[in-house]
Chain A
Amino acid sequence: MKEILSGNEAIARGAYEAGVKVACAYPGTPSTEILENTIRYKEIDSSWATNEKVSLEVGIGASFVGARALVTMKHVGVNVAADPLFTLSYTGVNGGLVLVCADDPELHSSQDEQDSRNYAKFAKVPMLEPSDSQECLNFTKLAYELSERYDTPVMLRTTTRISHSKSVVELGERVTGLPEPKLVKNPAKYVMLPGNARPRHYVVEERLVTLSKDGSSMPINRVELRDSKIGVITAGISYQHVREVLPEASVLKLGMVHPLPYDLIREFAAKVEKLYVVEELDPFIEDQVKAAGIQVIGKEIVPICGELTPGRLRKAFGLPEKAQSQVEKLPGRPPNMCPGCPHRGVFYSLNRLNAYVSGDIGCYTLGFMPPLSAMDTCVCMGASIGMATGAVKVLPPEERKKVVAVIGDSTFLHTGVNGLMDMVYNKGAATVIILDNRITAMTGRQENPASGHTLMDSPTNAIDFPMLCKAIGVQHVRTINPLDLEECARVIAEEMERPETSVIITDKPCVLIKREGVFKRGAVLEVVDENCAGCKACLKIGCPAIEWVPSSGKKGKAHIDPLLCNGCEVCQQLCKFAAIQEAK
């Protein structure tokens, strides 16, 4: 049967067909949809973990007792999961374990552009890289076979254009007859104390040598001989761009990008006159091929930053550019917080209080954008609290008061809670705002340990933030309604003055939550033209439902789009002329 699947959907299908029993992840663009699709298969226990490290540990636990396990994350998630990954390379697996890592060249939705292929080399594990959705499915299944045959975790690397592109896929059946999970005791393999780990290192090195040798005859590493003048070594999405732009070139398509199949590379190099490597981001293949003494051209012509496109590849090879229409410069269209978003009032208040906002990762990072313009730092998941602690350690008292960390519910549970423990323990005098909107919103509304629901949509315990903060030792914990501007400004100002750790929890759900009874839309508001003085106060919150109409009245008036308004009433509190009222 044929279906059009995204790379992520195809990986989920591949895991199903491979007999996977456990799938675990923390959401992260562009990897999120893999777990959102494994839930279609009731044979797989799918769950959101609190962070990527925990997700990998869940996978390892399942693997050690004999089940096939899938763990998925975005590129920066591997940084979080790196600790167990490196030791898992030593222990090897019992049931196959595949770690899918989705890179984001061009930083469509990320804070950096790291090339995770380096992790495969660093952790000394094999890495497969599919070029379309069919390969996503096939390579996922193959990855489990390799994982068990070579006793190693296998990384499967995608990029945004693989994960989020759709193409036609032929589906297969789920394998049967895999061994049932059971307790296995093998401390020499699974207890990584120095005495046990030392001999395992030799095993790891031998495994890499064997994989490299065997790679030369793996069908996923494939030579396509065409014109012998140009030969290109490539993998992943770059293969598709090469076929598009250089249809006559001979190609060595690598399905396994680590370890490299050197015998096959040498054989291919001997058959072509000029050899190139075309790869996005780092010269990962190129450096290793060069180190093996093979002459090749790569980053001399192919850009190291950003994603490749057919046009960028044409340029790299000096091919003429296609004629294009020239258009005038236009106003940009960056993403914006939704109408009625509970974050808006908080950032408006922080702006007014001239706070130094130690930011974090989520929808609320958009608080950086004008007119809210109330975020001063954003580094990585959970960083806001630790960074606030560092800043208040060294600032003079007047500036210390300005430091406020903001962090979403899911990000707080991911790695922010450790930062808060540290702040309390080391007496950091900063204010922390936990923006609890009951969902992991930015990646598309995923449940989390504070939402009360699991990925497979069963009710579960919900973390109680005030109780948690008190248990950690925070003496001043307050909960506010973020849609009440007076309360927001007053409470935040009071806590900023306090020379101790304090936590403010905002208590309103995301407007996009679909589960019934969580978000309640308010009455739609409208601008009463006669009352509107054109003062623009309501525009200062940057709500997409409020538009400035310059042609209205003498100097312009505001207008509210009734289709977009969610009735949060924040704009109404800013209007001094009673011009914003419930729509008739």
Chain B
Amino acid sequence: MSDKITNILLVGVGGQGILLAAEILSETVMLAGYDVKKSEIHGMSQRGGSVVSHVRYGKEVFSPMVPEGEGDVLFGFELMESYRALPLLKPGGTVVVNDLTIAPPSVLIGQEQYPEGLAQKIKELVPDCILVDGQNLALEAGNARAANTVLLGAVSKRLDIEEKYWLESIERMVPRKALAVNLKAFELGRALA
């Protein structure tokens, strides 16, 4: 095992299921034999605020926070939050982003406009960017709420972790009745990247 640490950022809006996705990712890399640390802020996040979860894995991880400008993969659940988090990503990093916009309070009440063309702006800054139609693929898998697992599938192709560990961790972490849909969603995401 090399000394390299892989840095992943999961970003989006409170309530989108980011914490569970980060748990599945952490469990996966632990099963694959890596040291792992995961960090995020709870509390206010449940009330629709910005959420950033850091997951780092490798032989031995020290800080639980991805150092600024050293993110390898940005795993975005929402466009504006993904664009906002780009300074955390290293030059030449990867973005896997859900093609979804969620209006913040100032946009909801008509005070500000949701910025236009964010997907394009992200692609200009980060050429290795995969835009995922998470909602529709999740519907194809059988449930709109499985969008996170579609994204996780797309992210999984960019990480050097055997598929069996992903599947084992999804089986451990996802409730039994939602398992089949989530496994399908994962495969659909994996087929994209």
The interface of chain A, by Cβ under 8 A from chain B, is 2, 4, 29-30, 108-109, 132, 160-161, 164-168, 237, 240-241, 243-245, 309-311, 314, 321-328, 330-338, 363, 366, 369-371, 442-444, 512, 536, 539-540, 542-544, 546-548, 550, 556
Contact A322 B69 (CB under 8 A): yes
Closest chain B residue to A28 by CB distance? Answer: B43
Closest chain B residue to A243 by CB distance? Answer: B62
Contact A160 B41 (CB under 8 A): yes
Contact B109 A168 (CB under 8 A): no
The interface of chain B, by Cβ under 8 A from chain A, is 13-14, 23, 26-27, 30, 35-50, 61-65, 67-70, 80-81, 83-84, 86-91, 103-115, 121, 125-126
The main secondary structure of chain A at its interface with chain B is loop
Contact B86 A325 (CB under 8 A): yes
The main secondary structure of chain B at its interface with chain A is mixed
Q: A336-B48, A444-B43 are in contact. List 13 more A-B contacts (CB 8 A).
A: A166-B38, A168-B30, A237-B63, A240-B62, A245-B67, A310-B67, A322-B90, A325-B86, A335-B45, A335-B46, A335-B49, A444-B42, A544-B108
- Total inter-chain residue pairs, C-beta < 8 Å: 180
Contact for A161 among B45, B64, B126, CB less than 8 A: B64
A114 to B84, CA, bound (A): 29
For B65, list chain A residues within 8 Å (CB). 161, 241, 309-310
A109 to B107, CA, bound (A): 24
Contact B68 A310 (CB under 8 A): yes
What 7 A-B pairs have minimum CB-CB distances, sorted nearest first? A322-B69, A335-B47, A548-B110, A310-B67, A109-B43, A311-B68, A335-B49
5 contacts between A and B (CB under 8 A): A29-B44, A309-B65, A323-B90, A334-B49, A542-B108
Closest chain B residue to A550 by CB distance? Answer: B110
Find the residue from A160, A326, A333, A443 having the highest chain B CB count within 10 A: A333
Contact for B81 among A333, A442, A443, CB less than 8 A: A333
Contact B109 A132 (CB under 8 A): no
Contact A330 B84 (CB under 8 A): yes
Write the nearest CB–CB distance from B168 to chain A, whole angstroms: 14
Write the nearest CB–CB distance from B160 to chain A, whole angstroms: 19
Contact for A323 among B23, B39, B40, B69, CB less than 8 A: B69
Contact A325 B68 (CB under 8 A): no
Contact B70 A322 (CB under 8 A): yes
Contact A330 B108 (CB under 8 A): no
Supposing A164-B39, A335-B14 touch, asked if A363 and B115 sit within 8 A by C-beta, the answer is: no
Closest chain B residue to A310 by CB distance? Answer: B67
A444 to B45, CA, bound (A): 10
Supposing A165-B64, A241-B63, A444-B46 touch, asked if A325 and B109 sit within 8 A by C-beta, the answer is: no
Write the nearest CB–CB distance from B49 to chain A, whole angstroms: 4
A321 to B67, CA, bound (A): 10
For A322, list chain B residues within 8 Å (CB). 67-70, 90
Contact A108 B41 (CB under 8 A): yes
Contact A244 B67 (CB under 8 A): yes
Contact B67 A366 (CB under 8 A): no
A443 to B42, CA, bound (A): 9
Contact A309 B47 (CB under 8 A): no
